[in-house]
Amino acid sequence: MNLPTLRSHGARLLPYTPLLAWFAYSCLLFSRWLAHPTKSVPGGADGILFCWHFEAVQRALWHFDNPLHSVAMNAPEGLNIMWNTSVLGAAIVASPLTATIGPIATVGLMMMLAPVLAATSAYFVLRRLTGHSVIAVLSATFYGFGPFFIGQAGHLHLTFAAPAIPLIFLIGYRIFVTQDGSARLRGIQLATVVIVTMLISEEVVAISAIIAALGVGIAVAINWSQVAAKRNYALTAVGWAAAISVVVLAFPLGYQFFGPNVLSSSIPSYQSMDLASPLRPSLLMRFATDSDVAVNKTFRANDVENTGYLGLAILAVLAVACVLMLRYRRKMGLWWIVTILATMTLSLGATIYVNGTRTVVHGPWSPLSKLPVLGSLVPVRFTLATAFLVSLGIAIGLSTLRNVRLRVAGCVAMALALLTLIPAHRANDMLPMQDSGFFSTSASKSIPDGANTLILPMPGDPNNVAQVMYWQLQNHNRFNIYGGYSVFAVDGELRYIPELPLFARVLSQSALSGYEPDTPTYISARTSLIDEKADVIVLRNTLEHFDVVVRVAEHMTGCQSRQVADVVVCEIPGR
């Protein structure tokens, strides 16, 4: 191969080199997970929950069962997968990988790839809009690896859906502004992105839809004289997108709202951005002071959800970019200012907080939060849209510079500003999962496939429940467990950890008290065993008054208990 040919290949590959740098940086951030990729994942109990759903979906597909419902948790009633952050679309596509390397390694890999994909999506969109690769790389780095992704590293349903926002913006730009190509094609493209994203994160689609509606409304107001000329093309494209999306999503959304285990009301959320959040580093930022940390603990959003930080350096670059947009691309600049202010205002929630102090001022989210379904949105997560708008504003503003030296100075300033956003630590908030001599070995095969299994102790704390779910994962969800940590509908109401059946509560009470129950309680417990279709009771040796609980289990069920490794197994006769 001659030198000109090599140079030609190198020129074609050059735009893709940032992907390698982002991948390397993500490997660094997730290096603790990479050291033990099958032991745990970032995100605490939520991380284990994602793994559980990936296993449930893969098992359902491999056994030709319904992937939208599972009885593997909250037996025997189960749960509606569509009401959960199951990342269903990704779980379906990744099911062969889940079957090969396991759900923990699969979910960890997807968490590590999520910011790379988000930055890549933003990069190609911004590069197309501006024509400047370096500016696009720097702006996309903020989107993919900024405060939002630092805080939400363990929330796969948000990070893995984030690549959609730049794509939706680009398609929307081509539908409402440039109107190039076929309107039907643009509608199909938009529908494809919406459908795929909806099966990953309904929340990100809802956020995108709200911001898109705001953005289009603002654009119409600024460019009213052009509305008539562009109306037919836009309506055609949006009509195609809406029609295709409704047809494809009708079944999964119908199952969510009209299938079993349906919630009768929205999942309320009150976490919102503080008005001081853009200026005060979160607990997860390296350059946060002790004062910042102390104030962050009073914010409405917790340390993971407090993702609105920008910092003085980014704000300074953003201010310069804004001035440049207003000077050289005035209408775009006006649209951007109004849209980002509206987005940031929505992230402030129903009531405005300033430096941790509640004010009497109600935000625009207050009336929206009372609408059906929208009440489930977490206001602070609008900062994902804010992050992209920040990247967009910086990229467009800096790209207006025609002087090479000024453009280089702008890029250097942005690179230095990104250094202020270095996280305080790697993505290492992983639960320490413990192996069990029973569940982590072949001994657990003594539990029959599909058996409704009570495992005690089952504390009501998500992190402790996640340990039981981890052992269930090690057994590929072969058996069903009572309780669990997820989104459950109990009489139509939300429960993250459902109450255990009566027979389980009786056993737990004996562990606490050290006494056997009275005769009426035994009778009620036996009725509960039948009603709840219990098959197996597994008592871990960490239970208090272990011997008493074993006697109660034998008396309650009529089983012949047996010690297996670090547990006692009680197989209920006749089940």
DSSP-assigned states of every residue in 497-555? SPPPPHHHHHHHHHHHH-SPPPHHHHHHHHHHHHHTT--EEEEETTSTTHHHHHHHHHH
What strands lie across the sheet with 567-571, from one edge to the other? 480-481, 452-456, 536-540, 567-571, 562-564
- For residue 269, the model assigns a pLDDT of 74
Give me the residues paired with residue 70 across strands. 79
pLDDT tens sequence for the chain (575 residues)? 554 554 454 456 667 789 999 999 999 999 999 999 999 999 999 999 999 999 999 999 999 999 999 999 999 999 999 999 999 999 999 999 999 999 999 999 999 999 999 999 999 999 999 999 999 999 999 999 999 999 999 999 999 999 999 999 999 999 999 999 999 999 999 999 999 999 999 999 999 999 999 999 999 999 998 989 999 999 999 999 999 999 999 999 999 999 999 988 767 677 899 999 999 988 888 888 888 888 888 898 877 788 999 999 999 999 999 999 999 999 999 999 999 999 999 999 999 999 999 999 998 888 888 887 787 889 999 999 999 999 999 999 999 999 999 999 999 999 999 999 999 876 567 888 999 999 999 999 999 999 999 999 988 889 999 999 999 999 999 999 999 999 998 888 889 999 999 999 999 999 999 999 999 999 999 999 999 999 999 999 999 999 999 999 999 999 999 999 999 999 999 76
Give me the residues paired with residue 80 across strands. 69
Contacts of 277 (CB under 8 A, 6+ apart): 299, 301, 306, 308, 309
Pinpoint the alpha helices (H) of 131-274: 133-145, 147-151, 156-159, 164-173, 183-198, 202-222, 227-258
- For residue 13, the model assigns a pLDDT of 62
Give residue limits of the domains in the chain: 22-419, 443-571
> Is residue 54 a contact partner of residue 107, using CB atoms and an 8 Å limit?
yes
d(CA 430, CA 111): 13
Concatenating the DSSP letter of every residue in 279-330 gives TS--TTBTT--HHHHHHHTTSSS-TTT-----HHHHHHHHHHHHHHHHHHSH
Amino acid at 365: W
How many helices and strands in the chain, by DSSP H and E? 24, 11
Q: Which residues of 354-374 are buried (b: 16+ CB within 10 A; e: fewer)?
A: eeeeeeeeebebeeebeeeee
- For residue 6, the model assigns a pLDDT of 42
- Whole-model pTM: value is 0.93
d(CA 480, CA 451): 6
